[in-house]
Amino acid sequence: MGLSASDLWNIVVMQGFAGLSLFSVLLLMGLGLAIIFGQMGVINMAHGEFMTVGAYTIFMLSSLTETYAPSLMPYYFLVAIAVAFVLAFAAGWLAEWALIRHLYRRPLDTLLATWGLSLGMQQIFRSTFGAKEVSPTLPEWLLGSWSPTEGLDIPINGMFVMGLTLLVTGGVFLMLYRSRWGLRVRATVSNRGMANAIGINTRNTDRMTFAIGCGIAGVAGAAFTTIGSTGPTSGSLYIVDAFLVVTFGGAASLLGTVASAFGIAQTQSITEFFLTGSMAKVLTLLAIITILMIRPQGLFALKMRR
């Protein structure tokens, strides 16, 4: 192909950065799932739809701001991220109350029920926003790119999303390992009965955990709007990948989730340049399945006495 070494290097860096955007979405999706699945053993097939809730929130707020307060356009995005979290959190809270709490201990059934939930949510999106994909108007400062050297263009939205992801990931770690909620979650995971006995309201803890997981998916949706347009089924595109991220990383390990999201996104993004997109996807998925076969408990699972 006649690529020089520096061309090749630039390609790797740029594909790497493209991979970072994918990494951000996968990680934000995966974090929420990992909390819900790893900590509660619940498979949430509707997780992608909670992400879509976040994405549509951004779209709505962008339209509102554009119509009623155009001068605030540069700032709305930051507020919208918070609103996306809150709305997805509320939706998750509702879903847990109406559905999930009746199905603990029946993981396969939860899987089917949440799939039903995802179908319903998709139809709600379609009825409300139409079947066509929509994109919010992004603030000026998110557009454009940054060229540290010649031939190298790094999009700003990618860096923003990256930063947001790091912030959320850090926040989740802090909450899980430094807050009362985190302590309650970890206690509930390691021994539900005992946690109950010492006065932890495990029902509330579960609901909170589920809602926070969904809230993070909402933030993932906000991040998603900077790199793609939103349709009723946008969330379902990522759900399988997100599940693989969680299982691949080892369900109980947040660190594993980070590492596997990074690995999967980079593998896919870099192979994508050399192969067609579909073959890159196939190879990535095959690699994950093969590794999962060798290490079924995931990359970062603890060795437990059992």
Partner 1 sequence: MSNSDYVLAIEDLTVSFDGFKAIDTLNLYVDKGELRVIIGPNGAGKTTLLDLICGKTRASAGSIKFKNAEMTKLAEHEIVRSGIGRKFQTPSIYENLTVFKNLEVSFPRGRGVFGALKFRCTDDVKERIAEVAGEIGLEEQLSMEAGLLSHGQKQWLEIGMLLMQDPELLMLDEPIAGMSVRERELTAELLDRICRNRSMIVIEHDMDFVKKIAHKVTVMHQGKILAEGPMERVQSDPKVIDVYLGH
Partner 2 sequence: MDKFRRWIASSDMASIVVLAIVVFAVLPATTDIFRLNLIGKYLTYAFVAVGLVMLWGYGGILSLGQGVFFGLGGYCMAMFLKLEASDPVSTKIQSTPGIPDFMDWNQLTALPFWWEPFRHLPVALIGMLVVPMVLAAVIGFAMFKRRVGGVYFAIITQAVAMIITVLIIGQQGYTGGVNGITDLKTMLGWDIRTDSAKYILYFANAILLFVAIFACRAVQRTKLGTLLLAMRDKEDRVRFSGYDVANFKVFVFCLAATLCGVGGAMFTLQVGFMSPSFVGIVPSIEMVIFAAVGGRMSLVGAVYGTLLVNFGKTYFSESFPEMWLFLMAALFIGVVMAFPNGLAGLWESYVKPWLLRERQAVPVPAPEKTPAVAEDPSEAEAASTRPVARSPEHAPASKNRSDGVDPAVA
279 makes contact, choosing from partner 2, partner 1, none, with CB < 5 to 8 Å by partner type, with partner 2
93 with 211: CB under 8 angstroms? yes
Stretch that binds partner 1, among 21-29, 40-48, 208-216, 298-306 (CB under 8 A): 298-306
Residue 304 interacting with partner 1 (CB under 8 A)? yes
Stretch that binds partner 1, among 64-72, 117-125, 279-287, 297-305 (CB under 8 A): 297-305
Residue 302 interacting with partner 1 (CB under 8 A)? yes
Q: What angle do CA 9, 13, 16 make, to 5 degrees?
A: 135
State the minimum distance, in angstroms, from the CB of residue 304 to partner 1. Answer: 7
The structure tokens 């609901």 sit at 207
Among 41, 139, 182, 228, binds partner 2 (CB under 8 A): 41
Distance, in Å, from the CA atom of 217 to the CA atom of 124, rounded to the nearest integer, reads: 18
Among 6, 63, 127, 204, binds partner 2 (CB under 8 A): 127
Q: Strand locations in 16-87, DSSP E?
A: none
> Cβ closer to partner 1: 157 or 253?
253
Q: Strand locations in 41-194, DSSP E?
A: 145-146, 154-155
Among 105, 132, 180, 305, binds partner 1 (CB under 8 A): 305
Q: Which two tokens stand for residue 19?
A: 């991979």
| Residues linked to residue 230 through DSSP beta bridges, in sequence order | 134
Q: Which of 34, 16, 18 is nearest to 260 (CA)?
A: 34
Q: Which of 2, 52, 74, 41 is nearest to 224 (CA)?
A: 52
User: 230: helix, coil or strand?
Assistant: strand
**Beta-carbon contacts of residue 2 (< 8 Å; ≥ 6 apart):** none
Number of residues that this document lists for the chain: 306
Among 115, 129, 173, 273, binds partner 2 (CB under 8 A): 115
Among 28, 211, 214, 251, binds partner 2 (CB under 8 A): 251
Residue 105 interacting with partner 1 (CB under 8 A)? no
State the minimum distance, in angstroms, from the CB of residue 305 to partner 1. Answer: 4
Q: What angle do CA 159, 80, 130 make, to 5 degrees?
A: 100
Among 113, 164, 222, 258, binds partner 2 (CB under 8 A): 113
Q: Cα dihedral sign for 186, 187, 193, 199?
A: negative
Residue 244 interacting with partner 2 (CB under 8 A)? yes
| Residues linked to residue 134 through DSSP beta bridges, in sequence order | 230
Stretch that binds partner 2, among 18-26, 59-67, 85-93, 246-254 (CB under 8 A): 246-254
**Which parts of this chain interact with partner 2 (CB under 8 A)?**
37, 41, 43, 99, 102-103, 105-113, 115-120, 122-123, 126-127, 189, 240, 243-244, 247, 251-252, 276-279, 281-282, 285-286, 288-289, 292-294, 296, 304-306
* Contact residues for partner 1, defined by CB under 8 A: 302-306
